A = this chain, B = another copy of it.
Amino acid sequence: MAFFNRQMDLMQQARASSTFNPMKLTVVLYDNEATVSSRRAAFHRVENALGLHDNMKLPHIYSGLDREGLYLEGVRRARVITHDMITHGHNHFQWLNERYQICNSSPFGMNFLMFRRTIELQGTADQRRYWLQEIDQMRINGAYAQTELGHGTFVRGIETTATFDVGTDTFTIHSPTPTSVKYWPGGLGFSCSHAIVAARLITRGKDHGVHMFIVQIRSLEDFAPVCGVELGDLGMKMAYNGTCNGYARFNYLRVPRSSLLAAHAQVSRDGTYGQAQTKVGTLPVSKRVYSTMLDTRRNIVRCVAFGLAQAVTITTRYSIVREQGRLMFSDATDEEAAIIMFKSQHYRLLTLIAQSYAILFAAKDFDVRYDQLVCEQEKDDHARLPFMHALSTGLKAWATTIASAGATEARKMCGGHGFVALSGLPEIEGTVSATVTFEGENYVMWQQLVVYLFKQVKALCSGQDVDIEVKDYMGGVRTYLDEETFPSRIQGCGKEKLFDGSTLLLIYKERSQRLLATAYSSYREMCNRCSAAEAWNTCMMTSLAAGQAFVEYIVIESFLKRISSLDTEDAPISEALSHLFCLFALTTITSPSPSFAAGSFLEHGLLTSDELNKIRVRVNELLAHLLPNIAALTDAWDFTDSSLCSALGCKDGNVYERLLSWTRQLPANSGRAVEKAWEASEGIEEFFKASRL
């Protein structure tokens, strides 16, 4: 335990200024007190088992490990959290691990997430009976091997073949080209005994397209790769080094006919291919897969809310205790100011904090819609699936873009110290950044959302039914389509109360409606001159901007909903969250996230220059209101010190002593690097000049 020092004092002062008890906000973030307690207990047990409680001790992960060392540490951690979930019957680490990273960053993470689910969805009753039990008793660990070196989201491009041989009643799994090598699947390199392999089913000389096979890839006796499979790891990554994203090259591997997941397609003993669909309700299987994707995406959105909040928590704490430089034109003699006092830091921090809340509340609002959808689907009502799928793509793209940019920004705000692994920020930044491209690259995601929205506009224009969720919204789009000029409907309807939630919501709604109408019109017009594909491609940047504006409108709505649903007993919390909402809405206007329509709040008279200036003044006022609560707003996320794993971000504020202590414990500093570099040379000139080690 360190002696109380200046930094710890600054941190204590920052906490003392808060207008509410952060624990009460924690309950809002995690829904109820029981969850908060149960999570805390789980973190405590796990961190105890992993030996992480002494926060003055250098975390093993930062000790300069090589590739193998980082992986072994990942295995060690994954074992502990899995063990804890089984022993104590909870699922706190099912989606987010003990560092709030999404579970595919764990060597065992894909087992339940994708491997089990695929069997559940595509296996026959027999297959489910056998394999699900193996998985649940953890006798096997599975990967999901779809992506190939040359093929990503476009499943039809997959090249791996599974050719049926009637003589031996087996499929032969083979990688015919370099581009067909399975590449990237989580856990595939070292950790999995089995894999779902996506491969083209060929029987009687005919290619029936991509099907799923369950394939054993390692011996259960000694874990060596089975004959006919070459397995390996992809090496170092920006993050996720605790797992072994890997490759698999199949060399005429024979697997029994029963390897085909056969709920929806079968190959009979004589090699006949058949598609005896076992329908589950009225929804075809291909559509049911959407539900899985929905579930994954909503978890990604929640995950990056935590990722951004982690980064901002570290940076906030560091900014509270870091005294550096003086305010420009300051009369103070040699007193340095805490960097949080500089408006640039103050502004950026609170903007990012507001974004982390906005993402989490959007995730929660989506969860409510999702739960409702699940209920409806159980009653065989799938009407809302297209809207939900579209919204999930847009939310995923928006949240991961914002969170990734925000985590990077938070890291840069810690200066040089943020660049060092010990700050914890490079790892968090890398982890969040991965979500931008995985489970659907964001520019593909945006397009899927906009295609949905265009379809709805088209239905509207041709008098067909519009989905219930967007019916009201599309009404507003129509007026923009119909009118030659774009009269702002904002004027006269409440802009005197520019900062009311309802006015802000209206501004976001009108802006997105206008952008959507404009984008659709441009696209339709272009369709007269070229093919739909070319028209789409030509107009893409404008269309994507419309999609982004739609999501921003939904996010504003979700944030507002969440605030209004709060127990109003705790006025200071309500007030702080209202300020945070307003800051989020206004800074997204003054400093929009990059898009081809970044000026859209100002176009067509939506907002005037004068209103924009009022907004800028209001932003400054909100920053002042929120500053006393900045520690509380980040403390409320309830991150343990070891989940942040940061010398800069521990709760006590004891930044410098901890950073120095961790640095001095680095193994390289008691290692032989200097001697090795030195021994190879003879004297100082050689040390510098020798051209070979």
A301-330 near B? 1/0 per residue, CB < 8 Å:
000000000000000000000011111111
A interface, size bucket = 35 or more
Contact A416 B152 (CB under 8 A): yes
Q: Which residue of B lies closest to A230 (CB)?
A: B664
CB under 8 Å from chain B, chain A span 149-180: 149-154, 156-157, 178-179
Q: A677 to B71: give the CA distance in the assembly, Å.
A: 9
Interface residues of A in 651-665 (CB under 8 A from B): 656-657, 659-660, 662-664
Q: Quick one: which of B330, B421, B533 contacts A331, CB cutoff 8 A?
A: B533
Complex contact A415–B433 (CB within 8 A)? no
Q: Shortest distance in angstroms between A28's beta carbon and chain B's nearest beta carbon?
A: 30
A365 at the interface (CB under 8 A from B): no
What residues of B have a CB within 8 angstroms of the CB of A419 in the complex? 237-238, 240, 430, 433-434, 437
Among the listed B244, B433, B595, which residue makes an inter-chain contact with A412, where contact means beta carbons less than 8 Å apart?
A: B433
Interface centre among A62, A86, A691 (most CB of B within 10 A): A691
A544 interfacial by beta-carbon distance below 8 Å: yes
Asked whether, in the complex, the Cβ of B689 is within 8 Å of the Cβ of A138, the reply is yes
Determine if B342 and A537 form an interchain contact, defined as CB atoms under 8 angstroms apart: yes
Question: Does chain B have a CB within 8 A of A690?
Answer: yes
Evaluate contact between A72 and B660: CB separation under 8 angstroms: no
B687 touches A223 (CB 8 A): yes
Tell which of A220, A343, A419 has the most Cβ of chain B within 10 Å. Answer: A419
Closest chain B residue to A152, Cβ basis: B324
Bitwise interface map of A from 415 to 440 toward B, beta carbon under 8 Å scored 1, else 0: 11011111000100010011011100
Chain B residues with Cβ below 8 Å from A80 are 691
A233-B666, A329-B536, A416-B437 given as contacts; is B324 within 8 A of A671 (CB)?
no
Distance of A253 Cα from B537 Cα, bound (Å): 68
Indicate whether A66 reaches chain B with its CB closer than 8 angstroms: yes
Q: Are A71 and B668 touching (Cβ within 8 A)? A: yes
Question: In the assembled complex, how far is the CB of residue A449 from the closest CB belonging to chain B, in whole angstroms?
Answer: 12
Q: Assuming A420-B234, A657-B178, is B616 touching A599 (CB within 8 A)?
A: no
Q: Tell me the nearest residue of chain B to A220, going by C-beta.
A: B684
* A:19-58 near B, CB below 8 Å: 49
In this complex, what residue of B is CB-closest to A538? B620
Q: How far is the CB of A138 from chain B (nearest CB, A)?
A: 4
Are A591 and B598 in contact, CB atoms less than 8 angstroms apart?
yes
Chain B residue with Cβ nearest A658: B178
A546 close to B (CB within 8 Å):
no
A660 and B325: CB pair below 8 A? Answer: no
Residue A447 is within 8 A (CB to CB) of chain B in the complex: yes
Per the bound structure, the CA–CA distance linking A619 and B668 in Å amounts to: 52
Choose one: B149, B235, B677; the contact of A668 (CB below 8 Å).
Answer: B235
Nearest-neighbour CB distance to chain B for A581, whole angstroms, equals: 19
7 additional A-B residue pairs with CB within 8 Å, beyond A72-B677, A139-B684, A223-B675: A138-B688, A149-B659, A154-B324, A234-B422, A328-B536, A419-B433, A594-B594
Shortest 4 CB-CB contacts between residues of A and residues of B: A64-B67, A232-B669, A343-B540, A66-B66
